[in-house]
Structure 1
Amino acid sequence: MSSRSHDAILQSAGRLFGERGYRAVTVRDIAGDAGVSAALVMKLFQSKEKLYAAVQPDDSLLAEPDVPTSELGRALVFRVLMRRERSMQEPWANIPLAVLNSPNPDAARADIHERYLDTITQLIGDATQDRRFASTVIALMTGFGEAIRTLGLFDSWDVDELVGHYGAIVQIQIDASKAATQTGAPSPD
């Protein structure tokens, strides 16, 4: 088995699950799209559910950028644009599909909710009880990922202009989190 076959299976599965959802895609669909046998898919991944789990957003999305907090909004937006430029999978865009198309949507929602919310909460220092700023950053980035990948809304924008524009929008929430932590109260923004 070559790593090329393994990668082709993952790429096909990610695309097909993203387009049609978990229930509408068969192992044979994935194998045919990847140019391999269904037996090889099962040998490598043991089940459709395990293959689905293998193509879900990974924690590399949540790796802490090596930038000051004052530049974090721009850094998060820049990462999305670089993944698009390199034709890489966009985890932010896949979050809604990972939940909705999961064999167990409630468990997927709880897992993704906690992983992402905990990480972003720590990253931006959100001390609010309801983690409102971290939640808003996640919503903004998920929407941005969808707008870039699914809708192509910003295709005509210059990268630097888009990083500055949308990064500033995300940064408002990051800065509000910092201000709320310093004052001990949520910002009215």
Structure 2
Amino acid sequence: MSGPSHKAILSAAGRLFGERGYRAVTVRDIAGEAGVSAALVMKLFVSKDKLFAAVQPDESLLAELNVPTSELGSALVFRVLMRRERGTQEPWAMIPFSVHDSPDPETARIEMRERYLGSVAGLIGDSTPDRRFASTVTALMTGFGETVRTLGLFEGWDFDELVAHYGKIVQAQIDACAATPA
């Protein structure tokens, strides 16, 4: 089922979990934010754990990038800023909450790490044994997504200037990866 109530619940849960974390959010909080009853939330999602799993960051958004490798840094930063402007869920900002507040943090850490590192490594062509460039890009984007959303950093910056500025920082790692012999 994916009607308006289902979408409203997912949207509210994603935002609340992203802002406050798993433990600090109740099913009633989500229901209130979505404008539905707690009973409907439970009927549709069965448990808070299953709802939390349904709103986890999705690294597949990386596969949707259809830009030359030379523009990936700016494209990644642009997407974070567009999600901020639209008030939509920020997957990069949710990574820390998804791990720390998970019912099983160690398993969540391993799963999130592998999902994101694998996706970023594939995106930038990182074949180093330790995926050093993918690790750095993931760290840069997670930090950027989290601080833009949570701390409100860069609020006074011009949108395009910020894309160019932070995009260059991310792009430096992508370019270094491309310059590394396989």
TM-score class normalised by the smaller sequence: over 0.9
Superposition deviation, residue 18 in structure 1: 2.7
Q: Which has the larger radius of gyration?
A: 1
Superposition deviation, residue 30 in structure 1: 2.0
Residue 43 of structure 2 corresponds to residue 34 of structure 1? no
Superposition deviation, residue 64 in structure 1: 4.2
Residue 143 of structure 2 corresponds to residue 139 of structure 1? no
TM-score (norm 1): 0.89
Which residue in the other structure is 1:91 paired with? 91
Superposition deviation, residue 125 in structure 1: 1.1
Closer/same/farther in 2, CA of residues 170 and 50 from structure 1, 3 Å limit: same
Which residue in the other structure is 1:6 paired with? 6
Which residue in the other structure is 1:65 paired with? 65
Q: Secondary structure at the match of 1:174?
A: helix
Q: Which runs of 5+ in 1 are unaligned?
A: 185-189
* Deviation digits for residues 140-183 of structure 1 (CA, Å, limit 9, x no counterpart): 000110121111111111111111110000011001111113xx
Residue 10 of structure 2 corresponds to residue 23 of structure 1? no
Q: Does the 8 Å contact 1:13/1:51 carry over to 2?
A: yes
Q: In the aligned structure 2, how far is the partner of 1:33 from the partner of 1:95?
A: 22
Superposition deviation, residue 2 in structure 1: 7.8
Closer/same/farther in 2, CA of residues 2 and 124 from structure 1, 3 Å limit: closer
Q: Does the 8 Å contact 1:12/1:34 carry over to 2?
A: yes
Q: In the aligned structure 2, how far is the partner of 1:162 from the partner of 1:48?
A: 37
Q: Secondary structure at the match of 1:15?
A: helix
Which residue in the other structure is 2:76 paired with? 76
Give the letter aligned to residue 34 of structure 1: A
* Deviation digits for residues 77-135 of structure 1 (CA, Å, limit 9, x no counterpart): 11111111221111011111111111111111111111110111111111211111100
Q: In the aligned structure 2, how far is the partner of 1:35 from the partner of 1:64?
A: 32
* Deviation digits for residues 4-55 of structure 1 (CA, Å, limit 9, x no counterpart): 2222212222233233322233222322332222211111001111101111
RMSD of aligned C-alpha atoms? 1.7
Q: In the aligned structure 2, how far is the partner of 1:122 from the partner of 1:59?
A: 11
Aligned length: 182
Give the letter aligned to residue 42 of structure 1: M
| Higher relative contact order, structure no. (Cα contacts within 8 Å, ≥ 6 residues apart) | 2
TM-score (norm 2): 0.92
Q: In the aligned structure 1, how far is the partner of 2:82 from the partner of 2:29?
A: 30
Give the letter aligned to residue 162 of structure 1: L
Q: In the aligned structure 1, how far is the partner of 2:58 from the partner of 2:79?
A: 14
